Homo-oligomer: A and B are copies of this chain.
Amino acid sequence: MKIEAKDIVDAIKAEVTAGVEAHKARGVEPTIRVIVATDDAAVLSYVRSKVKQAGNLGIAMEVVEFGPDKDQAAFEALIRASNDDASIHGVMIELPVRDGLDHDRVLSILDPKKDVDGLTTLNQGLIQQGREAEAICPATPQACIRLAETVGGLSGERVAVVGRGPTVGKPLAAMLINRSATVTVAHSRTTDLAATIAPCRFVFAATGRPGLLNAGNVTADHVILDAGIAYKDDKLVGDFDAEAAEGVAAYTPVPGGVGRVTSAIIFANLLKCMRLQGHP
C-alpha cells in the first residue's frame, strides 16, 4: 500500500493559510530569510521552489545570497542581525554551506525561536529532553511521524531508524522515543541490517543510499517511511527500492511522500516560531 501524503499536506496548508491570514490581519507579514551560501545548482533550484511555495501560502521569503567573498565573521554577523530584526520571523540556512564556513558554530548562534529548520543546538537539546512543545522540531522527522501515524500508533511499537544524520536520523530517533516507540538506530556500521530491522513494524530510512532497503531485507509486515533523497539516472529516488513495493505492508513513495509533507511542515514551523516569539 502506498501511503498518501495528500490529506496531510492539505490539512497543514489550510492551517498555515489561516495562520498567515490572521497575522496579516494584525499587520504582520510572516517572513522567512533564506541564507544561500553555496553555488550548488540543486540547492539553488530547491530554494526557488521553496520561494514559490511560500508565495502560494502568502509567506514572504527573502533570499540572501552570501557570496564567496564573505567570511565566517560576516556569516555570524548576518545571523545576529537576523536574530535582532523583528521583521524576520524565521531563518533558513541552506545546506551544505561553502567550504571555509562553520555551520556548527552558526547553529549555536541562531535564535532557536527563528530556527525554522529546527537544527540549532538548543532545539536539538529540547527535543532530546522531551520538551518538544518548546522546540522547533526539524520538518523531515515530523513528516515521517505524521505519515507513519496514518498507518497506526507508535507507542509501544518496535521501530527502526536507518541513518543517524543530524537533520533526520538523530532527531527522528529522539522524537520516536518521546512517542514511546522502542527504537533501534541502524547506520553504515550496522553489521546485519536485515536482522536488525526484522522485528520492527515501522522502518524509517534517511541515508540517501538508493536501494538500501530492498527485497532482500524488507518483510511483508514492514511499514517503510522513506526520507532518503538521491538522484539515480537523473531521477529522484529514496532509500527504498520501489520494485520491492509489493513486498511490504505500506510505504511512502519518493517523490511525493515524506518530501512533500516536509515542504508543508516548514511553513507550519514558521508559524510556531512566530508563536514562540510572542506573536498571538
Contacts and interface: CB of A to CB of B under 8 A. Distances in A.
A163 B164 CA distance: 20
Interface in A175-200: 177, 180-187, 189-191, 195-196, 199
A189 B182 CA distance: 8
Contacts of A104: 129, 131
Contacts of A125: 120-126, 128
A263 B129 CA distance: 23
B187 A180 contact: yes
Interface in A32-57: none
A184 B195 CA distance: 13
Contacts of A182: 184-187, 189-191, 196
Please classify the interface of chain A as helix (H, G, I), strand (E, B), loop, or mixed, using the class held by over half of its residues: mixed
A252 B271 CA distance: 49
Interface centre among A128, A156, A166 (most CB of B within 10 A): A128
Contacts of A177: 164, 170, 173, 185, 187
Contacts of A87: none
Contact of A156 (B155, B158, B183, B191): B191
A171 interface: yes
Interface string A120-158: 111111111111000000000000000000000001101
A107 interface: yes
A109 B146 CA distance: 32
Q: Which 4 A-B pairs have the closest CB atoms?
A: A125-B125, A121-B125, A124-B125, A180-B189
15 contacts: A104-B131, A123-B125, A124-B128, A129-B166, A156-B191, A158-B191, A158-B196, A170-B174, A170-B177, A177-B185, A180-B189, A182-B187, A182-B190, A182-B196, A184-B184
